[in-house]
Amino acid sequence: MTTTQQRLDPGLRLCTAVPEDADAIAALFDAAALDAVDFRHRETERVRAFWSRRQRAGDRLAVKVVAAAGAPDGSDSPTLVGAALLPLPQDRTMALVAVHPAWRGRGIGSALAGWLEDEVAAVCRSPHAETVTLVQRVLASDRDAAALLRARGWQRSRSLLRMERALTGGEADSVPAGTIEVRPVVAEHEMEALLLAEYLAFRESERYDPADFARALARRRQWLATDPRFDPTVWFVAFADDEGLIAGVCLCTLQTVEREDMAWINRLAVRVPWRRRGIGQALLATAFAELARRGKRHVGLYVVADNEAAVRVYRQAGMDAVPEMQFDEYEFRACEEGGSV
């Protein structure tokens, strides 16, 4: 870490984070979110799940930045002021980065970005490694973070719009006419078919590569085994009974990092031959009704901002945009030689 350490201001030290740091790292992400968007995250479970998955793989990639003194609470003891978590390297890897609001402007964000770039470049230099795209999300209103990433060669790839609606408890299931059945997935028997339906629904997107299907299925099963946020009892499928195929999926979670009464839709996908038949609305209505029965009072999701068709579906389902929570994704592509391509 010598090169990355040289990017930091005097008095700051970058070192490897360990599972025992989970609570402190969660509090750091909490403080950063509260400062940026005025709500408190509940990050501890997500941070612990990160280490749970990595320990099963025999690998951990996380760093923290520690200040020798001058904690935000006024004490003189060393304190955690920045952190970065790098999930298992995949073709597209989402990194989690946070800097304490009181310590911005001291080179911490740049040092953490540099560490991420160095680690991914090292992975790509290993034998038989493929190109890895590293991803960070920043608030669209955070011009400083965007400028930092652009200056380092990261490229903005897309914007994500947050949408939400209230759940009143009076939601009713809605099933389209015809031979479509909407029900929860039977995870032990239908996981592969569910993932295949997702792939086919997004087959025009370069993010879904058939060669990666087996690895994606293995990751999905691992997440189910290690991450409490992955709950297939709130994963719904629309079955085309005439062909015995899954026509659409809606994957939800009962746990969010924000508040206990909020659920989240991680994915809604309908395969092309069955679009414009009301299946998306039926999946959402079924999901809303079940989430309300589980005691949730709000539901949210992110959608690609320029996907007008998807935004229209969510608006028709009663969801409204939250403009102050729009994010931009920035990508850094690393190859065998390292660096941005």
- The whole-angstrom separation of Cα 221 and Cα 67 is 39
Per-residue pLDDT at 5: 55
Cβ-Cβ contacts under 8 Å for 337 (sequence gap 6 or more): 125
> Is residue 241's pLDDT more than 70?
no
Q: Tokens in use for 192?
A: 């592969």
Residue 309 forms part of a structural domain: no
How many structural domains are present in the chain?
2
- The whole-angstrom separation of Cα 318 and Cα 312 is 10
Residue 274 forms part of a structural domain: yes
Q: Quick one: 192 and 118 in the same domain?
A: no
- Which among 108, 109, 215, 90 is positioned nearest to 154, based on CA atoms? 109
Cβ-Cβ contacts under 8 Å for 219 (sequence gap 6 or more): 88, 90
Question: Where on the phi/psi map is residue 10: left (φ > 0), alpha (ψ -120 to 50), or beta?
Answer: beta
Residue 161 forms part of a structural domain: no
Per-residue pLDDT at 336: 41
Q: Tokens in use for 41?
A: 């995250």
Q: Quick one: 137 and 19 in the same domain?
A: yes
Q: What is the DSSP string of 256-320?
A: -SS-TTEEEEEEEEE-GGGTTSSHHHHHHHHHHHHHHHTT--EEEEEEETT-HHHHHHHHHTT-E
Residue 160 forms part of a structural domain: no
> Is residue 129's pLDDT more than 60?
no
For 48-76, what is each residue's pLDDT tens digit? Answer: 666 665 544 445 477 788 876 554 455 55
Percent of the residues in the chain that have a pLDDT greater than 70, as a whole number: 75
Most confident of 62-76, 170-184, 210-224: 210-224
> Is residue 330's pLDDT more than 90?
yes
Q: Quick one: 142 and 9 in the same domain?
A: yes
Percent of the residues in the chain that have a pLDDT greater than 90, as a whole number: 34
Q: Are 301 and 319 in contact (CB under 8 A)?
A: yes
Domain that residue 125 falls in: 2-153+328-334
Provide the residue type at 224 as one letter: L
Q: Quick one: 17 and 83 in the same domain?
A: yes
Q: Quick one: 141 and 275 in the same domain?
A: no
Per-residue pLDDT at 53: 58
Q: Quick one: 70 and 191 in the same domain?
A: no
Residue 292 forms part of a structural domain: yes
Residue 317 forms part of a structural domain: no
> Is residue 279's pLDDT more than 80?
yes
In our burial notation (b when 16+ CB lie closer than 10 A, e otherwise), range 303-327 reads: bebeeeebbebbeebbbebeeebbb
Domain with residue 214: its CATH number is: 3.40.630.30
> Is residue 335's pLDDT more than 80?
no
Residue 301 forms part of a structural domain: no
Q: Quick one: 50 and 83 in the same domain?
A: yes
Q: Quick one: 139 and 181 in the same domain?
A: no
> Is residue 337's pLDDT more than 50?
no
Q: Quick one: 207 and 93 in the same domain?
A: no
Average the pLDDT over each of 204-213, 216-225, 276-285 and give the range with the smallest value.
204-213
In our burial notation (b when 16+ CB lie closer than 10 A, e otherwise), range 7-28 reads: bbeeebebeebeeebbeebbbb
Q: Quick one: 124 and 184 in the same domain?
A: no
Q: Quick one: 123 and 215 in the same domain?
A: no
- The whole-angstrom separation of Cα 77 and Cα 113 is 26
- Residue 81: C-alpha distances to residues 60, 101, 107, 218 (Å): 20, 9, 11, 35
For 109-118, what is each residue's pLDDT tens digit? Answer: 999 999 888 8
- The whole-angstrom separation of Cα 240 and Cα 272 is 13
Residue 248 forms part of a structural domain: yes
Q: Quick one: 67 and 210 in the same domain?
A: no
- The whole-angstrom separation of Cα 109 and Cα 84 is 9
